[in-house]
A and B are shown apart, each in its own frame.
Chain A
């Protein structure tokens, strides 16, 4: 009796704000629902999905998102791993670095985006430094060629410390006596890294990749604050496109279809990473 009472908040919240919206949006994705003509909603079958898959704007957003994911995750992962390896062994001031690298992870993305918008301003501090060095000074967020890479650079900068902490957890879980035994056998530091640390870190690596991919597929606040999807739609991500379709053009049925396509893409990518990087049983632990 008491147990069910204690469980009920989650059951209600899950039904109302999780399961129901999830199922409802599947149904809505087969309709032309829009608050503009809410009395006349019709079933339109698969035509929302057809429209998305033939719309250059959707493919553009998908391309930008893919570029973002492929262009940030290798760098974020490598930097996070490198930093974790660097701050794992004891040295003076280790805590300062561990904590300092994590600071961007606790600050609001809106704040980070505003700060970087200021740093990237054409007459801002970044260009002042470049000018002093005699280098080219791009317009960064205002230039279609550099806007998306500029946002991606901020993402690598802000996310690395978070994944560093996750790698640290993986590193601390590796039994020390493995290293002691290897040392006795005459293994070098490099041998230990490639044949003990990296193989045993595989479940952590998988976790970092999946979590970061799911997060990167949903980039939104950065785009909203820094570029509003421009210039020339070159920073319009899938979620930003979804937001504009739903809340500026009020194509709610269509937006639901786009959301489902994004959801399917997320599942497929997570599955591909599970197959390539590790066994699911390992990751679950």
Chain B
């Protein structure tokens, strides 16, 4: 967002906007922003407060403690959940980037017969509400003996229609000259893909990686139904189930877990906000 063309950003692009006009906007956007962020401030405050009282004032008056974070690791297998989430996210992101690069390139360059048909299939998958398939997907996974394995958390999400679509759109916009020159020089299809196209696709593959990390790190329904044993649970599922045990009103404990689950995505967002917003925009343009 930060580096978008100033010419389209509004009339005040060349001259810095007047403080008075900015102040007016701050006056009414400020409270809205505060409303958006106060719940997160409460989460953090309660997670660090020694007493589980629930209110801001009580939370902040008694000093800070990491006791709740310690409890997460001592009382609950949060370390396992965290490791599972990280492992699954790494595998899904890696596979997503690899398959989106391959399939997106083929479709973007129309290098297969029936390219229209394949693209249509991908758009259809995009439109299909995922939750609708929960029962048959569960049955497929159980037939493949994948229920309660890492495979169930990774394989169905290894190829993502949205990622492929993003890469396809990007590849369509890339110039053909480099490929043609390489082909004249006798380079093989595979060499062209690996040595010429992959480096060119880096920006869109970064968007794919970030998007699929966020989606996977936060995913809930399928990890909930595909896994029964505690040692394979991912963080959102583990946290949701912990909140329905004797910890149900232990707000310090639950908010410490919530903070822990949010830190990676917030860090990724802070580092890559431009790519994340551009990923959303690319979705809107389809």
Contacts and interface: CB of A to CB of B under 8 A. Distances in A.
Contact of A20 (B43, B56, B140, B239): B140
Given A28-B136, A111-B239, A220-B221, A6 B159 contact: no
Given A110-B239, A115-B255, A165-B277, A18 B220 contact: no
A2 B103 contact: no
B135 A28 contact: yes
Interface residues of B, number: 102
Interface string A101-125: 1111011111111111111010111
A214 interface: yes
Interface string B7-48: 111111100110101100110110011011101101100100
B86 interface: no
Contacts of B21: 91
A16 interface: yes
A87 interface: yes
A54 interface: no
A102 to B, nearest CB: 7
A190 interface: no
A169 interface: yes
A252 B135 contact: yes
B236 A111 contact: yes
B258 A111 contact: yes
A239 B129 CA distance: 11
Interface size class of A (residues with CB under 8 A): 35 or more
Given A17-B156, A107-B218, A107-B265, A87 B258 contact: no
Interface in B96-124: 98-99, 102-103, 105-107, 111-112, 118, 121-122
Interface string A3-45: 1101101101110111011101100100000000000000000
A169 B285 contact: yes
B55 interface: yes
Interface in B147-204: 155-156, 158-159, 164, 188-190, 193
Contacts of A17: 137, 140, 155-156
Interface stretch (A66-74, A191-199, A255-263): A255-263
Contacts of A103: 36-37, 40, 266, 269
A106 B140 contact: no
A262 B240 contact: no
Contacts of A221: 220-221, 236, 240
A242 interface: yes
Contacts of A100: 33, 36-37
A214 B214 CA distance: 20
A16 B140 contact: yes
Contacts of A225: 240, 243
A252 B39 contact: no
B99 A214 contact: no
A32 to B, nearest CB: 14
Quick one: which of B13, B225, B236 has the most chain A CB within 10 A?
B236
A176 interface: yes
Nearest to A22: B133
B125 interface: yes
A142 interface: no
Interface of A: 1-4, 6-7, 9-10, 12-14, 16-18, 20-22, 24-25, 28, 83, 86-93, 95-104, 106-119, 121, 123-125, 128, 157, 161-162, 165-166, 168-170, 172, 176, 204, 207, 214, 217-218, 220-221, 224-225, 228, 239, 242-243, 246-247, 252, 255-256, 259-260, 262-263, 266, 270, 285
14 contacts: A9-B98, A9-B158, A21-B133, A90-B12, A102-B277, A103-B37, A106-B265, A110-B220, A111-B262, A114-B254, A125-B42, A220-B221, A242-B134, A263-B132
Given A108-B220, A218-B131, 11 more contacts: A7-B102, A28-B139, A91-B17, A91-B21, A121-B251, A128-B55, A221-B220, A228-B244, A243-B134, A243-B225, A252-B139
